[in-house]
Amino acid sequence: MTDRYAVIGNPIAHSKSPAIHAAFALQTGQKLNYTRLEAPLDGFSDCAAEFLAMGGKGCNVTVPFKEEAYRFANRLSARAELAGAVNTLWLDDDGLVGDNTDGAGLCRDLLRHTELRGKRILLLGAGGAARGVIAPLLAEKPARLLLANRSADKATQLAERFSAANLQATGLDALAGQAFDLVINATSASLAGQQLPLPPSLWRLETVAYDMMYGKEETPFLAQAAAGGVAMRLDGLGMLVEQAAEAFYLWRGVRPETQPVLTELRAALGTH
């Protein structure tokens, strides 16, 4: 019998996860069926519970349900517990397990392109996407990790979950005059087609700009970075593939090769 998995979100029609997991399954000889499920904004738990009750083995969780998935799981991995957000669920003999593979996916993709140790990193946003990547970023030993959010209080509350001397928090309005080696957008602004109120002084030629979102065209955040003269601008497609590979490994016990799948997706999108 073919094992069933799904990705749950709202919206979800754009998701590349079914294609990614199908490619992983083909590559590794695993038999599985993977589909998209759009849950009502107030109906994640019912949607996930129904899928699992009908024989589903596990699911990925995307915007805006990662914090709800954290509450839905029976047991949490250490990284999910720390993040307060879950993007990967699966059933084992003891119930429903929740994990967060976003940070592992982000770091693996970033390390293809740049060093993280000793760097000054700015992380924009304080929602579920940011929550999942803080601990893995800190594990890479940056010189500084600054969380910045429209609401400084929300960024401060998030930073307080982690006991790290090199972790600070601030509002977006306090970034002028500060310099960073890497700026990561973990907000949903690009998804909404919006630019963030960021000071022009943030951008330098040698800054690396990374948006967790992706598309056929450069995201609004990466367009801002380009206008500021930033040469290395990276979207989140690589992170998507890497976090999916981590979830696939948790589910199936096999770690797929990610580069061929990423290359195939880039070709389909017409990006480089």
17 in a known ligand binding site: yes
Known catalytic membership, residue 141:
no
171 in a known ligand binding site: no
35 in a known ligand binding site: no
214 in a known ligand binding site: yes
Question: Of the residues 66, 119, 141, 216, which is catalytic?
Answer: 66
CA 25 centroid distance within chain: 21
185 in a known ligand binding site: no
15 in a known ligand binding site: yes
87 in a known ligand binding site: yes
Q: How far is CA 121 from CA 140, 180, 181, 202, 263, in A?
A: 11, 6, 6, 12, 27
154 in a known ligand binding site: no
37, 64 Cβ separation under 8 angstroms: no
238 in a known ligand binding site: no
129 in a known ligand binding site: yes
207 in a known ligand binding site: no
110, 210 Cβ separation under 8 angstroms: yes
Long-range contacts of 15-22 (CB under 8 A, 24+ apart): 15/62, 16/237, 16/240, 16/265, 17/60, 17/62, 17/240, 17/244, 19/265, 20/240, 20/241, 20/244, 20/261, 20/265, 21/244, 21/248
Which residues are catalytically annotated?
66
Binding-site entries for NADP(+): 125-129, 212, 236
Binding-site entries: 15-17, 62, 87, 102, 125-129, 212, 214, 236, 243
Binding-site entries for shikimate: 15-17, 62, 87, 102, 214, 243
